[in-house]
Amino acid sequence: MIGIMCAMVEELEPILEYMHIKEKKEHANNTYYIAEFNGKNIVLAYSKIGKVNASITATVMIEKFGVDVLLFSGVAGGIDEDLKIGDLITATHVCQHDVDLTVFGYKHGFIPESEIYFDCNANLINLAKKVADEMGIKLKTGIIASGDQFIHSKEKKEWIKEVFGASAIEMEGGAVGCVCWNEQVPFFMLRAISDTAEEGAGVDFDEFLEESSKVSAKFLVNMLKEIK
């Protein structure tokens, strides 16, 4: 079973348009769509914003619905200067930029018995590169950092880049990566850039959310066609 997650309904709706929805199931205050696409069984959901909600949804997908590979699609704020609104990035690793136990001598982002960075699946990343080549579009790879904050500050953005080496930022991926690392489930994250995470980012986000979500959705669907 393939799981597809988004954070917001605006990110999920353009993916659902490609799916044959067979059933809807309510669980843990959320709706899960049981679907079929290109002969593959899929469960889809939007988690709602933030790391806690994303963790709940990812865990439910794996433990209740039997997902054995999890794909995340949505939007993010760009950190790297070469990332423009509408560009696509797939994560090589994800992390949590708002975890701070440095008073105890740990590095930013580290929790004991866990990791700072959670690896995304190399085979799925390579498949995404192949799909990007076939579509003739640019696909950047890099670290994506997550936190329960909407970043709209140049100073904060530069701090996250300096400390974590991140290329983009959002609010769910690090948590989903942590769940998949613990559950030993392959994980893939795709994000379309909706803003540049500086002053005025909220305006850009609202304006470009729908279009960026469609860009990410179309690419993910083309990936689904290639997954064996």
User: Residue 21: which CATH number?
Assistant: 3.40.50.1580
Containing 202, the helix (H) or strand (E) segment is helix 201-226
Tell me the residue range of the domain where 220 lies.
2-226
Output the pTM of the full model.
Answer: 0.92
Phi, psi of 108 (to 5 degrees): -55, 135
> pLDDT grade, residue 198 (50/70/90)?
low
Q: What is the pLDDT of residue 86?
A: 85
Mean pLDDT value across residues 166-183: 97
For residue 35 the two structure tokens come to 């679907």
8 A C-beta contact, residue 177 and residue 121? no
> What is the count of structural domains for the chain?
1
b/e code 97-114 from CB counts within 10 Å (16+ = b): bbbeeeeeeeebbbeeee
Q: Which residues are known catalytic residues?
A: 11, 195
Please choose, from the candidates 225, 217, 205, 196, the residue with its C-alpha nearest in 3D space to the C-alpha of residue 72. 217
